[in-house]
A and B are shown apart, each in its own frame.
Chain A
Amino acid sequence: MDRVGPLVALKLRLMFRMGRGAWPVVAWIVWLIAFVVPLGSLGLAFASMGFWTLDAAGDRELLHFTLFGVWIFWLLFPLVGFSLNQSYDLTKLFIYPVSRATIFIGTTLACFLDPSLLIVLPAFAAIAFFYSASVTAVAVTVVALVVFLAHTLALSQAILWGLLNVLRSRRARDWAMLLAPLIAVSAYLAPNLYLRGAAQHDPYAALLAWGPSRYLCFTPAGVTARAIEAAASPHWAQCAAYLGASVGYLLAALAAGTAVLGRLHSGEIGASRAPERTRAPARELSPLQRLATTPVAALAIKEARYYWREPRYKSLLIAPIFPLIFVLGGSLSRSHGGPALSPPAAILFVAVLALFGFSSLFQNAFGIDREGLRLLFVTPCPRSEILVGKNLAAVAVAWVASTLAVLVAGFLLQNPSLAATYIPFLLAAAIVLAAMGNVVSIHFPIRIARRGENPFASSSSRGCLNGLISTLAFQVALLVAVPIAIAAATPLLLRNPLAYAFCVPLALVYALAVYLGVLKLYSAPALERREMDILEECLAGEPVG
């Protein structure tokens, strides 16, 4: 047991240092502001407002629901975080002469110091405050909450260890990478949507109608809630019974954790990784392989494959969802008398935001290649062809995805035909974005974190400066795209289909002229000059000897 201290210290170090780059303090502050404060505030607001406004029956439902929410959140959240944080992987400790009990206690104790607990503590504080009928009641409530938390942490650990094979697989890591940005955006959207809903509807009505206490009363959250209620009443016998049940759940979680740890230790779990799905060797060429006959085509196809297979890129494909949420929000505002954009402006807004969501495809064309970038730059392929190959794939993806977003917005705003007229202009705009993005890619390449590094953390060596550069570059691209916007607006203003037939080719010719001009006169020669600098930037930290 004398090694519990070093184990706690190790886990804390790994938790704090994992993938947070050269500015760990700044990264932690950003993480606290981005995740902990919004989610913690949401929990605090939901619990406090409910306890303040609801009657006793409502308080019971809210108490059950809040504890159950914490329980579910804490069981699921580490599953996402597992592949991102090596502090969850206990198997590395098995080579040392440390007992299972020591490992288990050290790990669970360290969980109590996990800063992520700050997300749930405000809700717990609200519970303790609103159930403070007496000093004894507060003390019992705190004990009940600590037992509940210990049970939740122990069960969470047991589930993690039990699923070790699955969680260590590449597919699980990919899903975690994909979920990370969704969680990040949800952390912002959830409080906003909640507050908006709270202003317009009674958010607790559905909770009362559901009546979670009926279904959850024998769950760990339920018995803890009942113990807290009984202490506030006060019905001490009931309270003792429910507390006893809660302790029983804790012991069961500890037993489960110990058993799983034993199987892990003996190699029954985690000895081999989950088998990856394998395909039979391909004898026939795929359609894509048949197309890849030139360097440009091969590169474009490679990029397209990467967009689909690399979780960081795949998460970009959901980017157009967010402007749609804004449009949907705008429509709701209008239905409630708030200001809203006209359909043409709203659809244009969606188009611009959807394209902005793909900025990183255009403005960091080399970062995602990582080690592969050396192969790219060691080949004799003309640099202009490298840029064209990469741009072809990026333009295709951005155009298709933004077209879908614009069409959906058109349907939401009951004006799909107007949305359809934007489609060719989106292509022209994407081509201009690619032209301007090449300049940024060449001069401000961004290192993308390696697999296993924390995707919540900044992957760049320049931190917030990249965001500024990206936004400025996008605005410059928008300025360059003004003639395309004029071409798109002209048929609408003139209400003449012939103008549309004239403006579409004009916009596309303009975009191609901008693209080829920038490529030939600037981007390709600049890439030849700067490819070694790009390598240094994108592969910073790689070993040299």
Chain B
Amino acid sequence: MTVALPPDDAPAAAGPPPDEASSAVAFDLAAESPGLGPQLVEPSVQVYGLTKRFGDHVAVNNLTFTVLPGEFFGFLGPNGAGKTTTIRMLVGLLRPDGGRVIIAGHDLATDPLAVKASIGLLPEEPNVYERLTGREFIQFAGTMYGLPPDLVRSRTQELLVLMEMEEHADKMIVDYSSGMKKKTGMAVALIHDPRVLFLDEPFGSVDAVSSRSIRQVLTRLRERGTTIFFSSHILDLAERLCTRIAIIHQGVFRGLGTLPELRAYAGLGPDATLEDVFLALVGAPAEKDDLSWIA
């Protein structure tokens, strides 16, 4: 796979995608991941010309990309780059001004409920009902995803154990720390075993023990084919976990590919870290002037 970049003069307003793009696009996954053998695989996430404006500000500008099943797709960018806006559009919580989104083979515009049945979402600020207890909230979410009651109960218990939340499971979420809220949100994102997981800063405020458990679960999920769409500022973690990375800045892609591809595109050597690549691609100045009083 090559590094994909939009042209510098990409149009702000993306029109509807061409007809040929509207059919589910199949990729030769064997070429992408030789270990998986020859097969045609439908991408989990297909995005064409996604655009969002807030007044005159173009937050997301004509993004086009695909994510394959079993990919750990890193979606990185500086603050205000358009990451959260993009994720909200991909999961159907924010109306795009242009473009098309197909998740797990379902068009978000025409079949939103089928898309929502296929995805799990952990937003940066967890979508919690603060006046429910952790256990009540996870069970509520499981029921809303249509799981049978017995499965809801057993999975809730497993998730509470995994997240090390058993002791606090019957306290109201309003009394939780931010890390506990994040873990509750993660449990809700996982309870229905989604095909595509959207995680926006999943490890923020989470303690090291739970963080490791969550990483292990995510790795196992990816191995069995779950697509993980991962947004984070923690570049070390992204470097370790992600199979492919997109770097977005000011609403447009600055780079998309595997880490070696991004290194090559940025003109950096094989020892360059993701942080080096990131800084090079978003155009951060090499050095800034020191503060005037630190001479």
Q: Is A543 an interface residue (CB 8 A)?
A: yes
Q: Of A298, A374, A528, which one neighbours B123 at CB under 8 angstroms?
A: A374
Q: Is A278 an interface residue (CB 8 A)?
A: yes
From known contacts A281-B169, A374-B127, infer whether A295 and B81 are also in contact, taking CB-CB under 8 Å: no
Is the pair B146, A295 in contact by a Cβ cutoff of 8 Å?
A: yes
Q: Is A369 an interface residue (CB 8 A)?
A: yes
Residues in B whose Cβ lies below 8 Å from that of A36: none
From known contacts A293-B143, A379-B116, infer whether A545 and B79 are also in contact, taking CB-CB under 8 Å: yes
Is the pair A380, B132 in contact by a Cβ cutoff of 8 Å?
A: no
Is the pair A372, B81 in contact by a Cβ cutoff of 8 Å?
A: no
Most buried by A among B85, B131, B170: B131
From known contacts A282-B135, A302-B140, A544-B59, infer whether A378 and B92 are also in contact, taking CB-CB under 8 Å: yes
Name the interface residues of B116-159: CB closer than 8 Å to any CB of A. 116-117, 119, 121, 123-132, 135-136, 139-141, 143-146, 149, 153
Residues in B whose Cβ lies below 8 Å from that of A101: none
Residues in B whose Cβ lies below 8 Å from that of A373: 127
Is the pair B144, A532 in contact by a Cβ cutoff of 8 Å?
A: no
Most buried by A among B85, B121, B168, B175: B175
Is the pair B123, A545 in contact by a Cβ cutoff of 8 Å?
A: no
Question: How would residues 264 to 296 of chain A score, 1 for a CB under 8 Å from any chain B CB and 0 otherwise?
Answer: 000000000000101111100100010011110
Cα distance A146–B132 when bound, in Å? Answer: 48
Q: Of A282, A371, A544, which one neighbours B85 at CB under 8 angstroms?
A: A544
Q: Of B82, B113, B131, which one neighbours A380 at CB under 8 angstroms?
A: B113
Is the pair A306, B127 in contact by a Cβ cutoff of 8 Å?
A: no
Q: Is B88 an interface residue (CB 8 A)?
A: yes
Smallest distance from the beta carbon of A405 to chain B beta carbons, Å?
25
Is the pair B144, A376 in contact by a Cβ cutoff of 8 Å?
A: yes
Cα distance A371–B178 when bound, in Å? Answer: 14
Q: Is B275 an interface residue (CB 8 A)?
A: no
Residues in B whose Cβ lies below 8 Å from that of A293: 143, 149
Name the interface residues of B148-193: CB closer than 8 Å to any CB of A. 149, 153, 166-172, 174-175, 188
Residues in B whose Cβ lies below 8 Å from that of A382: 113
Residues in A whose Cβ lies below 8 Å from that of B188: 375
Is the pair A380, B140 in contact by a Cβ cutoff of 8 Å?
A: no
Is the pair B146, A309 in contact by a Cβ cutoff of 8 Å?
A: no
Cα distance A532–B108 when bound, in Å? Answer: 13
Q: Is A3 an interface residue (CB 8 A)?
A: no
Is the pair B170, A532 in contact by a Cβ cutoff of 8 Å?
A: no
Residues in B whose Cβ lies below 8 Å from that of A372: 127-130
Q: Of A299, A305, A535, which one neighbours B93 at CB under 8 angstroms?
A: A535
Residues in B whose Cβ lies below 8 Å from that of A543: 84, 124-125
Residues in B whose Cβ lies below 8 Å from that of A310: 131
Is the pair A378, B124 in contact by a Cβ cutoff of 8 Å?
A: no
Most buried by A among B81, B116, B128, B136: B136
Residues in A whose Cβ lies below 8 Å from that of B166: 281
Q: Is A451 an interface residue (CB 8 A)?
A: yes
Is the pair A292, B140 in contact by a Cβ cutoff of 8 Å?
A: yes
Smallest distance from the beta carbon of B187 to chain A beta carbons, Å?
12
Cα distance A270–B174 when bound, in Å? Answer: 19
Is the pair B92, A380 in contact by a Cβ cutoff of 8 Å?
A: no
Is the pair A545, B143 in contact by a Cβ cutoff of 8 Å?
A: no
Q: Of A285, A305, A378, which one neighbours B121 at CB under 8 angstroms?
A: A378
Residues in A whose Cβ lies below 8 Å from that of B124: 543, 545
Q: Is A55 an interface residue (CB 8 A)?
A: no
Is the pair B82, A379 in contact by a Cβ cutoff of 8 Å?
A: no
Chain B, Cβ-Cβ closest to A302 = B140
Is the pair A378, B91 in contact by a Cβ cutoff of 8 Å?
A: yes
Q: Is B234 an interface residue (CB 8 A)?
A: no
Q: Of B84, B130, B167, which one neighbours A544 at CB under 8 angstroms?
A: B84
Chain B, Cβ-Cβ closest to A532 = B95
Q: Is B100 an interface residue (CB 8 A)?
A: no
Residues in B whose Cβ lies below 8 Å from that of A281: 166-167, 169-170
Chain A, Cβ-Cβ closest to B181 = A371
Smallest distance from the beta carbon of A63 to chain B beta carbons, Å?
46
Q: Is B263 an interface residue (CB 8 A)?
A: no
Is the pair B123, A305 in contact by a Cβ cutoff of 8 Å?
A: no
Smallest distance from the beta carbon of A292 to chain B beta carbons, Å?
6
Cα distance A91–B140 when bound, in Å? Answer: 38
Q: Of B95, B117, B144, which one neighbours A299 at CB under 8 angstroms?
A: B144
Q: Of B81, B131, B171, which one neighbours A545 at CB under 8 angstroms?
A: B81
Smallest distance from the beta carbon of B150 to chain A beta carbons, Å?
10
Residues in B whose Cβ lies below 8 Å from that of A170: 172, 174-175
Q: Is B114 an interface residue (CB 8 A)?
A: yes
Is the pair B92, A377 in contact by a Cβ cutoff of 8 Å?
A: yes
Is the pair A371, B127 in contact by a Cβ cutoff of 8 Å?
A: yes
Cα distance A294–B131 when bound, in Å? Answer: 20
Cα distance A379–B143 when bound, in Å? Answer: 10
From known contacts A278-B171, A281-B169, A281-B170, infer whether A309 and B131 are also in contact, taking CB-CB under 8 Å: yes
Is the pair B171, A544 in contact by a Cβ cutoff of 8 Å?
A: no
Is the pair A371, B144 in contact by a Cβ cutoff of 8 Å?
A: no
Is the pair B93, A378 in contact by a Cβ cutoff of 8 Å?
A: yes
Cα distance A306–B172 when bound, in Å? Answer: 11
Smallest distance from the beta carbon of A455 to chain B beta carbons, Å?
16
Q: Of A292, A299, A371, A378, which one neighbours B119 at CB under 8 angstroms?
A: A378
Is the pair A379, B136 in contact by a Cβ cutoff of 8 Å?
A: no
Residues in B whose Cβ lies below 8 Å from that of A193: none
Chain B, Cβ-Cβ closest to A276 = B175
Residues in B whose Cβ lies below 8 Å from that of A33: none
Q: Is A381 an interface residue (CB 8 A)?
A: yes
Q: Is B94 an interface residue (CB 8 A)?
A: yes
Is the pair A535, B94 in contact by a Cβ cutoff of 8 Å?
A: yes
Is the pair A309, B172 in contact by a Cβ cutoff of 8 Å?
A: yes
Residues in B whose Cβ lies below 8 Å from that of A535: 93-94
Chain A, Cβ-Cβ closest to B94 = A532
Chain B, Cβ-Cβ closest to A278 = B171
Residues in A whose Cβ lies below 8 Å from that of B174: 170, 451
Cα distance A376–B113 when bound, in Å? Answer: 12
Question: How would residues 82 to 106 of chain B score, 1 for a CB under 8 Å from any chain A CB and 0 otherwise?
Answer: 1111001001111100000000000
Q: Is B38 an interface residue (CB 8 A)?
A: no
Chain B, Cβ-Cβ closest to A385 = B144
Q: Is B80 an interface residue (CB 8 A)?
A: yes
Q: Is A542 an interface residue (CB 8 A)?
A: yes
Hey, which bits of chain B sit against chain A, CB under 8 A? 54, 59, 79-85, 88, 91-95, 112-114, 116-117, 119, 121, 123-132, 135-136, 139-141, 143-146, 149, 153, 166-172, 174-175, 188
Given contacts A292-B140, A371-B127, A544-B59, 4 further A-B contacts (CB under 8 A): A276-B171, A380-B117, A380-B146, A544-B54
8 closest residue pairs by CB, A with B: A380-B117, A298-B143, A372-B129, A374-B127, A309-B131, A375-B127, A379-B144, A380-B116
Chain A to chain B contacts (Cβ below 8 Å), 5 pairs: A282-B169, A298-B140, A375-B188, A532-B94, A545-B80
